[in-house]
Amino acid sequence: MSIIKTYMEKGGGNWAKASNVATGAKITVESVYLDDESFEGQSYIVVNGIYDITGEAIKVRLGVQNLRRVVETLGDNEATWTNNKLVVLGTQDYPGLGSKGILWGAEKTVQQTQI
């Protein structure tokens, strides 16, 4: 796939923001990838998912602090995150940035079975 198509598929879309998600809301994980192109030289883990309240596709950008909380529940193998939930724990003000950020946690809804 061309880098332009890849960027348009991964970089566009409906992003979770403090203004458009509710505390306690859940997002069902569909896929996870590393985005090192969309955010001014910063790399983030991005989750494609479904916002459970509306059924709409939504993307979640996870920085290091949020990623650590999610990994505590879902583990560090992103392949096992599918169909589990990200949970909005609340928001946090970032005065230096002049914006609010979302605090993410996770809920394990899929049981992994050993073969």
Write the CATH number for 69.
Answer: 2.40.50
- Is the residue at 112 inside a domain? no
Contact criterion met (CB below 8 Å) for 85 and 51 = no
- Is the residue at 82 inside a domain? yes
Q: Is the pLDDT of residue 113 over 70?
A: no
Among all chains, which residue has been given the structure tokens 């992103």? Answer: 78
**Is 58 or 111 the better-scoring residue by pLDDT?**
58
- Is the residue at 55 inside a domain? yes
Please give the torsion angle defined by the CA atoms of residues 36, 39, 40 and 43, in that order, rounded to the nearest 10 degrees: -40
The residue-averaged pLDDT of 11-30 equals 89
- The residues near 45 (Cβ < 8 Å, ≥ 6 apart) are 32, 33, 34, 35, 61, 62, 67, 78
For the chain, how many structural domains are there in total? Answer: 1
**Is 9 or 38 the better-scoring residue by pLDDT?**
38
- Is the residue at 11 inside a domain? yes
- Is the residue at 7 inside a domain? yes
Determine the pLDDT at residue 14. Answer: 87
Would the pTM count as exceeding 0.85? no
Residue 30: which domain range? 3-107
Tell me the pLDDT tens digit for each residue of 57-75. 999 999 999 999 999 999 9
pLDDT-based confidence at 42, cuts 50/70/90?
confident
- Is the residue at 39 inside a domain? yes
Decide: helix, strand or coil at residue 42. Answer: strand
DSSP 13: S
What type of residue sits at position 77? Answer: N
- Is the residue at 62 inside a domain? yes
Q: Average pLDDT of the chain?
A: 87
Q: Cβ of 57: how many Cβ atoms within 10 Å?
A: 13
pLDDT-based confidence at 8, cuts 50/70/90?
low
- Is the residue at 113 inside a domain? no
Scanning the chain, the segments in alpha helix (DSSP H) are: 3-11, 64-74
